[in-house]
Amino acid sequence: MFKIIPIYKDYLWGGTKLKTAYGKQSDLDIVAESWELSTHPAGTCLIEVNGQKQSLKTYIKEQGKKVLGSKCNVEDEIPILIKLIDAKDNLSVQVHPDDAYAKRYENDLGKTEMWYVLEAEEGAKLVYGFKKDLTPELFEQYIKENTLTEALNFVDVHKGDTFFITPGTMHAIGKGIVIAEIQQSSNVTYRVYDYGRVGADGKPRELHIDKAKQVTKLTKAEESYVAYTMKECEGYSIGVLAECDYFKVQRIDLKSQIHLVADTKSFHALLVTEGSITVKNELEVLSASKGDSIFIPAATGSYQVEGRGEILLSTL
């Protein structure tokens, strides 16, 4: 079992909450994203093996696919990516393609993702699809006239809210929100609207209008929030936040302890979002607190989590 050493990103819309409230240690002034589980080329997490830092990707290559589990459909890559995101300002309005489109035009995977809201300032909102049906012509007109926000579906956001974003859904995290994001391991994003901002080079950030027009769903958004219930058990409560072809994410509210089993089908990824915990099996003991992530290889078997707090458990 390994504590993850994350990768940090300093995008212009980010803040400092991941450093001040989630224990992230970085020389960056802004920490917009903390990649908590990743073997993606744009950022591979590290682990500590026998006192030495090592790439998680290297470890997986050395140990083989058994570390990832039989549900993994690739050889030496983790097919999901887990992030903490601190939006001090609005993110760009964007859309992701599905696997077929991404493979054909980007030689990459599409992106299905979910958001679990950790913090939301009063009045915080995010974008989830459109508030009405659009025709391709009307969609293009909104883009050309720089009035796309008139058609977007803005929803109120509160701590504990969960959103599931399928490919083709226009979306954007709003300012004042901290989320945990679990997604396919893909960095393919088509930016459609960016509030007129400029990048570090002083130029407007690139938009991807043509590709976005090909992949965006133009129908009115259905229910945006994911409804989930927490089942009360002795020592904890648990609920499923999202389950799809790519990942399953469960929220665990830990009151004293829970016994879990990492079988041969999938690794376990634990992200502590509140409190402090201890993870132990017959061979190891790991301590973790708010903001920490632990990777438990497939076939590790039984382990116990003790303490008080909130944990997101992600599996394939």
Q: Distance between CA atoms of 199 and 208, rounded to whole angstroms?
A: 15
Catalytic residue among 191, 205, 251, 308: 191
What tokens appear for 91 in the block? Answer: 């993110």
Active-site residue, 191 included: yes
> How far, in Å, are 46, 66, 212, 314, 315 from residue 58 at the CA level?
9, 14, 35, 21, 20
- Residue type at 170? M
Q: What span, in angstroms and rounded, lies between the C-alpha atoms of 147 and 151?
A: 8
Q: What are phi and psi of 283, to 5 degrees?
A: -110, -25
Handedness of CA 244, 247, 248, 250 (dihedral sign): negative
Q: State which H helix or E strand residue 120 sits in.
A: strand 113-120
Q: Which of 146, 41, 31 is nearest to 93 (CA)?
A: 146
Taking the C-alpha atoms of 59, 80, 110 and 136 in order, what is their torsion angle to the nearest 10 degrees? Answer: -150
CA dist., res. 207 & res. 189, Å (int):
10
Secondary structure (3-state) at 148: helix
CB 120 within 8 Å of CB 175: no
Distance CA 95, CA 189 (A): 6
Residues 5 and 92: their CA atoms lie apart, in Å, by: 27
Task: Please name which of 127, 104, 102 lies closest in space to residue 112, comparing C-alpha atoms.
Answer: 102
Distance, CA of 76 to CA of 190 (rounded, Å): 27
Catalytic residues, by residue number, are 191
